[in-house]
Every structure is written in structure tokens, then in C-alpha cells.
């Protein structure tokens, strides 16, 4: 699965589109009443959700909207800009409920699970590069909401940003691994259990436990526990707990340093 890239060759134009007022996006001489940037983005998101970014084309979007491909370019300059608009749109729709009673740890865990739900609802987002994310209202609302989750953690401003970056990177990596595992199972028409059942006898003929004692002992224990080579849910839960533990320790250390000053 290829890596799709956001980012635009015309920053001024994409910022104008990203920060358009609700209901805006109508060209001055639009060829069809009712068509808008919002409508184009909505159809693009729906197509990506159902068929993936590989199948997303301006021609396919135009067909769904009942217009010619050239018509779309009066609303969106091209696919690069469209990807930015799509990503910001799904960011904007993410749930951002108040968490007044939650501890910082519960709030940060909720952030992780909200992002995991985003990737599950829109798997194509996992494949996009966000090295230069769309600087739109969706991203900004998401960032503001997620930073607030760390209030009470004891972290400074820079540490909060770094901790959030670590958390989101972890969620992205586990979501990508889960997507790859799902694709492998689909392509091979075999579950993990079936794959191991087919390969374990062959591996036993060539694998020497005496040469790889740790791999033999630990691999067997992990495989027996998870009933397979990789358990996405366990990987997520285990890693999230360790990250939360690390943030707590960092906050405690910072408090201790402040108290000693």
C-alpha cells in the first residue's frame, strides 16, 4: 500500500479552502446549483472509506456527483489539495466531548482511543503522510483538544507537545500494523491461527532451539498467550499503558525538580 501525501503546491489557495466559512466554497460561476467544496470533500471521503485512496480519482468523484471531471477543478485545484481537505474534514468531525471529571491519565487515554477510532473509521488516513499536515480548523481543533488532556500531568509546555507527538505516533504505528495484518489475512485467505498451523511444521524442521534459545522460549510463550504472531489489541493496550506510565514519571520528576529549587 503506497504512502499518500498531503501538502499542497499552493499554500495560499489551500489555506483559503481549509478556512472557508461554513456553506462557502461555491465558485462565482458554478456550473451546477448546490455543488460546493463541502459536497466534493464529502463524496471523496465516502469513496476513500469504501475503496481506499488507491481507487480515489477526480473522475470517480465527478461521476458520483454527476458532473464532468473538469467541473471539479472549479472547486478543488487538484487531488493533492483534495487530500488535505479530506484529512482536515475527518479531523473536524472527531468527537471532542468535555471530560471535566477525568484525570489527566484518563483524558490522555481517551485521546489515544479517539485517534484509534478515527483510523478504524477511515483506514485511508493511516496511509497518509502528515509530515506537513493541513493547517485547517480540523487540525487546530484536534490539537487544542488533545493538548488540554494533559492538564494536571505536571508537564511543561514543550514536554506536553512532545508527549502528545509520542502518543499519536504510537497510535498511528499500531493502527498501521493492524491494517497490514488485516490486509495479509485478506490476501492470503488465512487467519493467523491457520497461517501458523500451516507453517509451524515446516519451521520445526529448520529451526534449532539450541541456537536461538531466547527466540524459542519467549516466542513460544508469546505465541501461546496471544494465539498468534501479533495481537493488535494487546499491542495497543500494552503500549498505551507504558506511555502513560512514562508520562506520569516525567511529570513526577519535574515536580520533584521544581520542589528542590
pLDDT average, residue stretch 91-96: 93
State the average pLDDT for the chain.
86
Give, in degrees to the nearest 5, the angle at Cα 129 between 190 and 52.
Answer: 45
Q: Residue 11's pLDDT is what?
A: 83
**Lowest model confidence (mean pLDDT) among 130-134, 139-143, 190-194:** 190-194
Q: Residue 85's pLDDT is what?
A: 96
Enumerate the domain spans of the chain: 4-92, 107-260
DSSP letter at 131?
S
State how far the Cα of 65 lies from the Cα of 215, in Å rounded to an integer.
Answer: 55
**Residue among 123, 223, 122, 230 at smallest CA distance from 184:** 230
Q: Residue 238's pLDDT is what?
A: 95
Query: Is residue 29 over pLDDT 80?
Result: no
Q: Regarding the domain with residue range 4-92, which homologous superfamily does it belong to in the CATH classification?
A: Homeodomain-like (1.10.10.60)
pTM for the full model? 0.83
Per-residue pLDDT of 160-188, as tens digits, reads 999 999 999 999 999 999 998 888 777 77
Topology of domain 107-260 in CATH is: Tetracycline Repressor; domain 2 (1.10.357)
Tell me which of 2 and 57 has the higher pLDDT. Answer: 57
Tell me which of 123 and 133 has the higher pLDDT. Answer: 123
Q: Name every residue whose Cβ is closer than 8 Å to that of residue 233 and which is 6 or more positions away in sequence.
A: none
Q: Residue 260's pLDDT is what?
A: 62
Q: Residue 1's pLDDT is what?
A: 39
pLDDT average, residue stretch 38-42: 96
State how far the Cα of 146 lies from the Cα of 213, in Å rounded to an integer.
Answer: 44
Q: Name every residue whose Cβ is closer than 8 Å to that of residue 239 and which is 6 or more positions away in sequence.
A: 170, 174
Q: How many CB atoms lie within 10 A of CB 4?
A: 20
Tell me which of 18 and 194 has the higher pLDDT. Answer: 18
Q: Assign 133 a pLDDT band (cuts: 50, 70, 90).
A: confident
Q: Residue 2's pLDDT is what?
A: 43
Amino acid at each position: 500500500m503506497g504512502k499518500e501525501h498531503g501538502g499542497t503546491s499552493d499554500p495560499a489557495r489551500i489555506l483559503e479552502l481549509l478556512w472557508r466559512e461554513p456553506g462557502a466554497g461555491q465558485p462565482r460561476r458554478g456550473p451546477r446549483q448546490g455543488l460546493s467544496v463541502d459536497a466534493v470533500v464529502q463524496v471523496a471521503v465516502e469513496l476513500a472509506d469504501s475503496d481506499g485512496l488507491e481507487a480515489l480519482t477526480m473522475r470517480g468523484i465527478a461521476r458520483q456527483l454527476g458532473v464532468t471531471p473538469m467541473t471539479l477543478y472549479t472547486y478543488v485545484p487538484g487531488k493533492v489539495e483534495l487530500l488535505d481537505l479530506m484529512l482536515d474534514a475527518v479531523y473536524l468531525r472527531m468527537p471532542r466531548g468535555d471530560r471535566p471529571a477525568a484525570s489527566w491519565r484518563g483524558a490522555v487515554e481517551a485521546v489515544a482511543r479517539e485517534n484509534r477510532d478515527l483510523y478504524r473509521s477511515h483506514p485511508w488516513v493511516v496511509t497518509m503522510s502528515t509530515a506537513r499536515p493541513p493547517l485547517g480548523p480540523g487540525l487546530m481543533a484536534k490539537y487544542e483538544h488533545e493538548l488540554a488532556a494533559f492538564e494536571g500531568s505536571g508537564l511543561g509546555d514543550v514536554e506536553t507537545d512532545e508527549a502528545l507527538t509520542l502518543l499519536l505516533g504510537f497510535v498511528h504505528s499500531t493502527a498501521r500494523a493492524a491494517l497490514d495484518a488485516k490486509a495479509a489475512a485478506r490476501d492470503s485467505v488465512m487467519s493467523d491461527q491457520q497461517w501458523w498451523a500451516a507453517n509451524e511444521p515446516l519451521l520445526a524442521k529448520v529451526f534449532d532451539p539450541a541456537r536461538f534459545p531466547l527466540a524459542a522460549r519467549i516466542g513460544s510463550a508469546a505465541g501461546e498467550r496471544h494465539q498468534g504472531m501479533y495481537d493488535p489489541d494487546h499491542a495497543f493496550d500494552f503500549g498505551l499503558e507504558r506511555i502513560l506510565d512514562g508520562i506520569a514519571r516525567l511529570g513526577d520528576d519535574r515536580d520533584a525538580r521544581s520542589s528542590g529549587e
